[in-house]
Amino acid sequence: MNNKSNEIWKNEDKYDNWELRKHRFVDEMRPVLFQYMGITPDSYVLDCGCGTGVLARYIARGLGSGRVLGFDISRYLVDYGNARIADENLSDVCKLVVADGFELPFDDNTFDAVTNYTYMGVLSDPVAGLKEMIRVCKKGGTVSSITPVRGVEWKGEYPLDFAERLHELYDRQEEIYRKYFFIPKKCISKAMNGIP
């Protein structure tokens, strides 16, 4: 197995940049995302490559008796994220731990839903990472992945009926980034492909 990407990520400590991503997850999207991710209010959820846990906290705010656990290989991002979880009074519902996605320290068939936001695309061996995600998901549970469409290099037509609307929304998001975060237009594509 090729786990070369671990060397890049285990010392990642730019938690301020990753934290900006919380603006991408709005409350109105939660019902649709929960449906896609197979999450119900009582689910036990795993957020893979959680960074500072922006997705894990977003999920936590929509759970009832359920729980969400996030893991990341960078202890800096995990420590920062757990501090934010405490600030936001989510510690009973949400926790982040340091773990390697190529060798997860969880039993088979543990989680109802296993998801991630822009994690699989950074792995040097995404198939090995996906196999671990499937192993720890309960039989009949849901393994899902979320990635921004425009940041992904796609040869040919987008295979989505709603691609035009998606691009319109993406342009509006860029406007908002420019207005509030003062990122020059020429830097935005680069920023959206990497950090944040």
Ligand X SMILES: C[S@@+](CC[C@H](N)C(=O)[O-])C[C@H]1O[C@@H](n2cnc3c(N)ncnc32)[C@H](O)[C@@H]1O
Binding site for ligand X (CB under 6 A): 5-6, 9, 12, 18, 21, 49-51, 54-55, 71-74, 77, 100-102, 117-119, 122-123
Taking the complex as a whole, the smallest distance from the CB of residue 57 to ligand X amounts, in Å, to 11
Given a contact cutoff of 8 angstroms between Cβ atoms, the answer to whether 129 and 9 are in contact is no
Taking the complex as a whole, the smallest distance from the CB of residue 196 to ligand X amounts, in Å, to 8
At 3 the three-state DSSP class reads coil
- Which residue blocks in the chain are alpha helix, DSSP H? 5-9, 15-19, 30-37, 54-60, 75-87, 126-136, 163-181, 185-193
Token pair for residue 190? Answer: 């680069």
Taking the complex as a whole, the smallest distance from the CB of residue 102 to ligand X amounts, in Å, to 5
Q: Which is nearer to ligand X, 72 or 112 (by Cβ)? A: 72
Q: Which is nearer to ligand X, 128 or 183 (by Cβ)? A: 128
Taking the complex as a whole, the smallest distance from the CB of residue 88 to ligand X amounts, in Å, to 16
Q: Which is nearer to ligand X, 111 or 117 (by Cβ)? A: 117
Q: Which is nearer to ligand X, 15 or 44 (by Cβ)? A: 15
Query: How is the chain split among helix, strand and coil, in percent rounded to 5?
Result: 45, 15, 40
Residue whose structure tokens are 């285990």: 10
Angle among Cα 19, 163, 25 to the nearest 5 degrees reads 20
Taking the complex as a whole, the smallest distance from the CB of residue 125 to ligand X amounts, in Å, to 9
Taking the complex as a whole, the smallest distance from the CB of residue 165 to ligand X amounts, in Å, to 23
Q: Which is nearer to ligand X, 18 or 159 (by Cβ)? A: 18
ω into 196 cis (within 30 of 0): yes
Q: Which is nearer to ligand X, 118 or 173 (by Cβ)? A: 118
Cα 10 to Cα 30: distance, rounded to the nearest angstrom: 30
Cα dihedral 43→49→51→52 (10° resolution): 20
